[in-house]
Structure 1
Amino acid sequence: MDYTVERLRELDEADVERLKVESEREGYRFVSRLVREYGDGSNRFDGPGEALFCVLNPEGHVLGIGGLNRSPYDPSGQAARLRRFYVLSDARRHGVGSSLLKAITDHAADHFEVITVRTESSKADAFYRANGFVCDDSESENTHIYHLKKEA
């Protein structure tokens, strides 16, 4: 499967309607919340170190989306929070999610020490662990953490 990962400067650069519909059908509100919060200005992924990425197929259709915010649970400012991460079901298990996550972690490495995420899905748990996250429920807001390696 051919695709590219791009950083979005504005959400309307990408048509996320298919992601929104499918995610809601699966019982997830990630993409709906992304659209709502972006629209009302409460989360535009524009703080220091924050970013929003998407994966596009050759025709320009969005296959997945995910963002990075400064963690509201870390007063030191050294932790990022993975947000609104979703990949279309027919694009899963083709490297789309892993490529999206790699773009996000590569970006985060210049700004943060760790990335945290919270999930209740066993499939997401397996995905995050396969991509270098470790289970860490020492804080109620997190289920997984990824330690970024800083170059010396």
Structure 2
Amino acid sequence: MEYYVEKVEDLYSLDLERLVQESEKEGYRFVARLVNEIKDESNLFNRPGEGLFCVKNDAGSIIAIGGINQSPFDTTSGVGRLRRFYVAEDARREGVGTLLLQSIVEHAKKHFTEITVRTDSSKADAFYRACGFTFDDSASETTHFLILQ
């Protein structure tokens, strides 16, 4: 199966129901939160440097989602925050998450000097470390960061 990354231009056309249901079964609410933020327009990934990206399979179905926002936890403009990052269970361990993260990082390099993220999942911790992030949980809102060159 082939996968491709798209920057989401029309947030209101996203069909994320499958990802919402699957993520909630796993105990994660952040995909549902993404849908709610789009509906109430509290996070449209439209400030400078921000963007929402999805991975689709060759059938055109969204199998992963993730974005970058200006960090609400840092007063400098050079820090981006990885947000709402989720990969469908049947697409994991196939390079989909790495493909999505690489696209977000490439986009972020044009706008930010650092990316931060918070996770409480050991699998996500291993993923972020394998992708070059450094573990640092000294701040309550961040567990990993990546300095962009």
Normalising TM by the smaller chain, what interval? Answer: over 0.9
Partner residue, 2:140:
140
Partner residue, 2:115:
115
What's the % identity of the aligned pairs?
59
For the 8 Å contact 2:5–2:56, the answer to whether it is kept is yes
* Other structure's SS at 1:83 match: strand
The farther-off stretch of 63-72 and 6-15 is 6-15
Gaps of at least 5 residues in structure 1 are: none
CA deviation digits over 1:91-142, x for unaligned, max 9?
0000000000000000000000000000000000000001110101121110
After superposition, the CA RMSD in angstroms is 0.8
Gaps of at least 5 residues in structure 2 are: none
Partner residue, 2:124:
124
Q: Shift of residue 52 of structure 1?
A: 0.1
Any residues of structure 2 matched to 1:1-152 within 5 Å, and which? 1-149=1-149
Q: Shift of residue 11 of structure 1?
A: 1.9
CA deviation digits over 1:52-87, x for unaligned, max 9?
000000110001000100001110111000000000
Distance in structure 1 (CA, Å) of the matches to 2:62 and 2:76: 34
Distance in structure 2 (CA, Å) of the matches to 1:145 and 1:13: 31
Distance in structure 2 (CA, Å) of the matches to 1:129 and 1:79: 18
Per the normalisation by structure 2, the TM-score is 0.98
Give the aligned length. Answer: 149
* Other structure's SS at 1:28 match: coil
Distance in structure 1 (CA, Å) of the matches to 2:110 and 2:138: 25
Distance in structure 1 (CA, Å) of the matches to 2:22 and 2:29: 10
Runs of 4+ in 1 over 4 A off after TM superposition: none
Distance in structure 2 (CA, Å) of the matches to 1:79 and 1:147: 9
Q: Shift of residue 40 of structure 1?
A: 0.2
Per the normalisation by structure 1, the TM-score is 0.96
Report the residue type matching 2:81 in the other structure.
R
For the 8 Å contact 2:12–2:38, the answer to whether it is kept is no
Report the residue type matching 1:12 in the other structure.
Y
